[in-house]
Amino acid sequence: MRPPDAYIAGATDAGSVKGGLGSFTYCDTAADALPPRAANVPPLALDDLSVKLSVPSGEPLIGYRAGYWPATEWQGDETRYADATVEVPVSTTEFDAPPSGDWMLAIHVTFPLGGTAVYYWHVTVP
């Protein structure tokens, strides 16, 4: 069984974009995956300075950690910049966008039953 899909959008919610699933451990299954190359992922322009993360179907999340690296690098060193845990599982949360630039964004999600998954997006921030 695979983890649920995760989506991000800017706070203005002009449209959500599904993340590429990376490594995960979920419901007694696991997979290791390298992050995608930015050139293989259409860039998502974040028009504002916040990111809305949603898991609209399936198990909600109880925590996340976000990080980014330059889109020009493949498997760059991830700069950790946002993380949180919540007491009550949620299907949507919001946090600051990375600084201005062209980035690969990784969001590491924790699910209530102990599962984890990493999702990737190519984002540009004005």
Strands 61-70 and 79-90 turn out to be antiparallel
CATH code of domain 7-125? 2.60.40
Positive or negative: CA dihedral 7, 100, 23, 59: negative
Mean local confidence (pLDDT), 3-31: 89
Mean local confidence (pLDDT), 5-32: 88
E-assigned strand segments in 4-126 = 7-10, 17-18, 20-26, 29-31, 43-45, 50-54, 61-70, 79-90, 92-96, 101-110, 116-125
Total-model pTM: 0.94
Residue of 73, 64, 62 whose CA lies nearest to 112: 62
Q: What is the pLDDT of residue 59?
A: 85
